[in-house]
Structure 1
C-alpha cells in the first residue's frame, strides 16, 4: 500500500501519519518514505489488508491511498518512484553513474591479478572483479584460491585504489568477506535461489552491497522474490542479467535484454548486464555490452584476463587488451541514454 500525501503537507503532517501507522501495526521500520519536490510517498511493507483505506484517505493531508498487487511491491517504482542509488566508498554511485566491473573470472596468482587489474584500471573500469571461490561444474577443475584469493583482492584494492567484488558461495565464509572488507558481495547464478544463503546475507549487521545474478531459466518473479529476501534486511541490492542456456551450441548462454529493460522500467533497483557469461563468446561480448547499456543497464560486468589463452577459467569469453576499446564506446551509449532522459 502507498499513501500519497498532499503537496502542501510538511514534516509535521508526516510525523502524524507515521505515528498513526505505528498505532495500526506499522512501525517506522516497516515504512519506505520517498520525498520529491512536490510529493511525499509513504509505502507500507507487509500485509496491509487490515488497514482502513477510507480512514486514511479522509485525512486532510492525504491525497490518495493506493493498493499494489505486486508481491514484490517494495521493489516497484510505484512504491519507490526514484531509482535506488548505491554509493561506494570510492564515490561511485551505482544506479546513477556508469558502473564498469572488470577483471578475471578466477584469481589464479598475484602476478595474474595485478597485471589484469592494471589493464582494467588503465582502460577505465571503476570496480575490480575476481573470483576467489569458484563453483565449477566438475569439482576436479580449478576451484579458486579461496581465502588467499580474498587477500590478493584486498591487496589489489589498496594498490590501485578501486573497489572490489567477488562471489560468496557459502554463509560459512561470511566472516572472511568481513575480515577482508570486500566492497561488493556477489551471489552467483547457481545460488540465485539459495534461500539459506540469501537469508544469512539479509540478516547481517552493516551489510555491504550485494549483486544478485539471475540463475539459468529463473523467472523474473522468482528473481525478484530472491531480491526481496535480501532487500528485507539490506536495501543495497543490485540485479544482474546473465542469460540462459538454449539448445544452440554456438553460445554458452543467450543474453535476455528484455529482462534488463523490464526491470529498469518497472522496478527501482540498479541493474547490471554480464555479456561475458551471457554469450560465452569473446568476439560478441563488446556488441552485447553496448546493447545491454542501450537497453537500460546501469553498468557492465565483464571478464578480462591479461592472457586469456592461459586462463584457468573462462578464457574463451574473456577480453584482454581489446577491453580498452570497449569502455569509451560504453560511456558514449550511456551518455546518449542520459541525454535522451531515458535512464
Structure 2
C-alpha cells in the first residue's frame, strides 16, 4: 500500500514510538504512573511531560505558554467557546475555508457569524474587512484540503486593529513551516508524525480562557484530566524531530512536488500553486468519477477531500469557496506526501491513478 494522505494523518516517526514505549513499559515498570502524583514514579512521569512541553513549545513563537489537549479540535473549541469576547457576546469572523472544528463550532453559537471570503486561489485578503462588533477572528495558516498558506501575519494585525483576538489553526503548518504569531494557536501531534489523541494549545501571555473541561484543574486550569506521559513523550519527540528536519523535509517535499506536477500533467491544480504547502496536491480532471477511481486504485491511500468530512456525501465547502462548480468538486482528489514518501512511491501511485482515470475514457 502506498500512503498519500498526509493531510489526514502522518506515519508515526520511529523516534516518537521509541519515546512512547519508555512510558508504556518503564522506567522500572512504573511508566503507568500518574504525572500529577507526588511520589517518585509520578515525579518521573511529570519530568517526561515537562520535557515534552519544552519540545513542543519550541515550534511556537515566544511570548506564550503551551497547554496539552486531547486534540487540536478540543484546543480550537476551548478558545472559541472560552475566550472573553465570545462569552461577552461579540461576533466571530472565520475564513470560508476553515476546518469544521472552527467553522461548525462558530456556527453553533448564538454569536453573530461573519465569513471572510477567499479568492479563486484559495487565499483570504491580507487586509480583510472585519465587521464592527467582531471579537474573535479565526484563519488557519495552511488549509488541510488545498494546502494554501494564508497571510496570517497581516490578518493578525488587521484583527488587532479591529480590537479582536486572532485564533490560528496551525495543524497543517506545525513542523513544516514556522508558526505565525497569534493570540491563540492549535496544533495536533498526529499531523507531524506523532501519536493520535493529543494536541496542544498555545496562548499568548495575558490571554485568559474559561475552561471547556473542568474537574481537576490540570494544565493550569485550562484543561482538566490526567495527562498521558506516553502521548506527551511521543508528541515531544515528534516535535523535536520536526524542528531538526524542517529544512530537509521541505527540500524533500519540493522534489516530490516537482515530480508530481510532471506525473499529473493534464490535471488541473485546485488553489494556488505558489502560496501553498507543496506536500498537498489537490487536482481535478473533467469527467472523473472519483468514487470509481478510488475503488479501482486500491493499492494507493489518497483522499477525495477532508478525512473529517468523508462519508458526509456533501460537496467540499472548501472547493466551493474557491469557485468550483459541484461537478468540478466531484472531479477532484487530494494527494498528500511527506517525509517517508519516496519518488518511486509517487511514480507508482501516479501510474495507477492515471491508468484508472484513462480507463474511464477521460
Same fold, TM exceeding 0.5? no
Choose between structure 1 and 2 for higher RCO, CA contacts under 8 A separated by at least 6 residues. Answer: 2
Per the normalisation by structure 1, the TM-score is 0.32
